[in-house]
């Protein structure tokens, strides 16, 4: 029986930094939108990962 292949990361640490910067920019653009809190939560989750 073959061993399962090891998972590879989809995003690099640099990718997370870039995504977090983009989300931070978007949060400023939609700060008055009721959904902006969802993006703020995403921003903080990304910070914990990357």
Alpha carbon distance 26, 38 (integer Å):
11
pLDDT for the residue numbered 50: 61
| Max Cα distance, the chain (Å) | 56
Number of independent structural domains in the chain: 1
pLDDT for the residue numbered 1: 66
More confident residue, 4 or 47: 47
> Is 33 among the domain residues?
yes
pLDDT for the residue numbered 7: 81
> Is 45 among the domain residues?
yes
> Is 44 among the domain residues?
yes
> Is 3 among the domain residues?
no
Which range of residues forms the domain containing residue 22?
13-49
Alpha carbon distance 16, 23 (integer Å):
10
Q: Is 24 left (phi over 0), alpha (psi -120 to 50) or beta?
A: alpha
Sorted by sequence, the CB contacts under 8 Å of residue 45 that are 6+ apart come out as none
- Taking only the tens place, the pLDDT of each residue in 5-28 is 888 888 888 999 999 999 999 999
> Is 42 among the domain residues?
yes
> Is 4 among the domain residues?
no
């Amino acid at each position: 029986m073959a061993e399962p292949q090891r998972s590879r990361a989809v995003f690099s640490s640099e990718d997370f930094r870039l995504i977090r910067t983009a989300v931070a920019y978007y949060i400023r653009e939609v700060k008055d939108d009721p959904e902006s809190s969802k993006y703020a939560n995403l921003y903080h989750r990304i910070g914990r990962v990357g």
